[in-house]
Amino acid sequence: MSLAVQVTTVPAVAIELDPTPHVETLDAEESHTRIASHQEFSVSTEGYVRRYFADIPIMAEVARCESTFRHINPTTGNVLRGRVNSSDVGVMQINTYYHNQTAERLGLDLLDIDDNLAYARYLYEREGTQPWSASRPCWGPQLIAMR
């Protein structure tokens, strides 16, 4: 008798709010490799984002509206940039003009999917959904259902 087991692991993610956090960052090539490995194990970006924000489901809805759960532009293979503002990057469309300096101080690279999500959590913990207010017409109706 043989037994087949499928094991799926989900990375634990946490952001340290210490003023001098240590966060491991990846270069662009490593980030693309990590995303490819997620796809290789049949973990969609949507599933990855929804699991990351399981405790804050409205943030998954924000990602749906901001990037349709895309971190990489399928046409160019580069990190997704905003259509209206090219300073908005990644799955959470974090604006690098306003947030890159703080992200770097926290040791986060907004072009990396894990760091993009971690910084979104950092923003949410400080400002709620306000940083994504431009897309509120898309995800706002979901807010009531999430409470």
What percentage of the chain carries pLDDT values higher than 70?
67
Q: What is the pLDDT of residue 46?
A: 96
CB atoms within 10 A of CB 65: 18
* Whether the predicted pLDDT of 2 surpasses 70: no
Tokens for 124? 């949410």
Which pLDDT value is given to residue 142? Answer: 60
3-state secondary structure of 105: helix
* pLDDT tens per residue, range 32-84: 445 444 443 336 999 999 999 999 999 999 999 999 999 999 899 999 999 99
Percent helix, percent strand, percent coil in the chain, to nearest 5: 50, 5, 45
Write down the pLDDT at residue 136.
Answer: 94
Question: For residue 92, with 0-12 CB atoms within 10 Å meaning exposed, 13-18 middle and 19 or more buried, which class applies?
Answer: buried
Question: Where are the chain's structural domains?
Answer: 28-146
Coil/strand/helix, residue 72:
strand
Average pLDDT over residues 100-125: 97
Q: Tell me, what's the pLDDT at 140?
A: 87
